[in-house]
Amino acid sequence: MVAGMAVAGLTAALLATTGGTGHSAAAADYYWMRAEATFAPPSALIPSTAKTYDLGLVPAAGWVEVRQHTDERGTKVALRVKGLKPGYAYGAHVHQKPCGTDPMDAGGHYQNKVDPVQPSKDPKYLNADNEIWLDFTTDEAGNGKAAAHHSWNFRRGAAASVVLHREQGGAGDRLACFTVPFGSLPRA
């Protein structure tokens, strides 16, 4: 899939579901989004919103999809991948910034309660309750999925990507990154 086709698909999904704003047309009481892309190296001739930094674990042409649903009950984020290394245990987290040519461009993990000391290493902040962890293990075909649900919502503009890590849990080397248009509810 060409990267631009993923954007067109995302735009159509947002327009059909929310009147084009990412929020419900009636009361702005939910946000729904679906984005997908094909992984490509940062130096690819045709750029992608999904970048692979390790072609052995996240091959070019592997596929990724992220969905978000946010309402008054909280936020659910779901991740699906296809075409990655079979039988591998990947870590995955929502990160603060968009992907770039350098794996570190995505910044740190998104945290509901932000650790005042960055990079965060304190288990009080660096945990699956305070962050969106989407760890998964691929099947024999290299496909995997994960989902996380929290009673809190993203802060506007504070979440921008999903990073795949070499290890499950807190972190590990960054293998790939997918820039995602995460949204939030308006503050009352």
CATH of the domain at 89: 2.60.40.200
For residue 76, what pLDDT is reported?
98
Question: For the residues 10-32, what does the mean pLDDT come to?
Answer: 50
User: H/E/C letters for each residue in 4-58?
Assistant: HHHHHHHHHHHHHHHCCCCCCCCCCCCEEEEEEEECECCCCCCCCCEEECCCCCC
In a domain, 171, yes or no: yes
Q: Residues 34-54: pLDDT tens digits?
A: 999 999 999 999 999 999 999
Q: Are 33 and 10 in contact (CB under 8 A)?
A: yes
Q: Are 146 and 101 in contact (CB under 8 A)?
A: no
In a domain, 21, yes or no: yes
For residue 25, what pLDDT is reported?
42
Q: Residues 49-100: pLDDT tens digits?
A: 999 999 999 999 999 999 999 999 999 999 999 999 999 999 999 999 999 9
Please give the model's pTM, rounded to 2 decimal places.
Answer: 0.86
74 is in which domain, residue-wise? 3-179
In a domain, 186, yes or no: no
- The total of structural domains in the chain comes to 1
In a domain, 188, yes or no: no
